[in-house]
């Protein structure tokens, strides 16, 4: 699942875990190389019949263009999937950091006691849209996750925020 609560605390003075979210990767880098190799190899099979003829040079650029287009598309997909979100407790503040592919990281802070998690079944950017609210702002979290993953995330966040709002034993 593309989100994980770290088993160790974020900082030595905190005993709270960090929630890290990232987009799902269905194709690892090894699979990427295999797909490119298969596309090139399978597209070369029909060209065996035209080896040594002028027709080979008429078709070969299109085969290479197809492989280059596939390469570019998969690389673009990898780059757009480098989004990272982290939710951590810093003192009494809950801090959500969103690191997009391009541009500076965006940060949202709120007192953990007053933070609320909401799920919007419809009407959001995606179905079962999860938001955090507090400090006068509402921010999305995990919008790049699948629908089932957002449902699971909502339950986990609700439990986590409930545990933060319980009185701590002294």
Q: Model-level pTM?
A: 0.74
Cβ–Cβ < 8 Å for 137, 158: no
User: 66-97: per-residue pLDDT in tens?
Assistant: 999 999 999 998 888 888 999 998 888 899 99
CATH 2.30.29 fits 3-24+85-165, yes or no: yes
CA nearest 160: which of 135, 137, 130?
130
Domain range list for the chain: 3-24+85-165, 29-80
Bridging pattern class, strands 116-120 and 93-99: unpaired
User: 17-66: per-residue pLDDT in tens?
Assistant: 899 998 888 888 899 999 999 999 999 999 999 988 999 999 999 999 99
């Amino acid at each position: 699942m593309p989100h994980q609560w770290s088993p160790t605390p974020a900082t030595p003075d905190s005993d709270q875990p960090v929630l890290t979210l990232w987009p799902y990767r269905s194709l690892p880098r090894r699979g990427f190389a295999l797909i490119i190799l298969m596309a090139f190899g399978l597209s070369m099979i029909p060209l065996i019949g035209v080896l040594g003829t002028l027709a080979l040079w008429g078709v070969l650029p299109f085969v290479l263009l197809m492989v280059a287009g596939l390469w570019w598309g998969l690389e673009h997909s990898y780059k757009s999937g480098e989004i990272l979100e982290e939710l951590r407790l810093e003192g009494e503040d809950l801090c959500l950091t969103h690191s997009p592919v391009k541009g500076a990281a965006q940060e949202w802070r709120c007192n953990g006691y007053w933070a609320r998690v909401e799920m919007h079944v419809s009407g959001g950017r995606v179905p079962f849209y999860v938001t955090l609210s507090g400090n006068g702002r509402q921010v999305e979290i995990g919008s790049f996750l699948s629908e089932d993953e957002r449902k699971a995330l909502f339950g986990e966040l609700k439990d986590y925020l409930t545990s933060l709002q319980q009185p701590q034993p002294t």
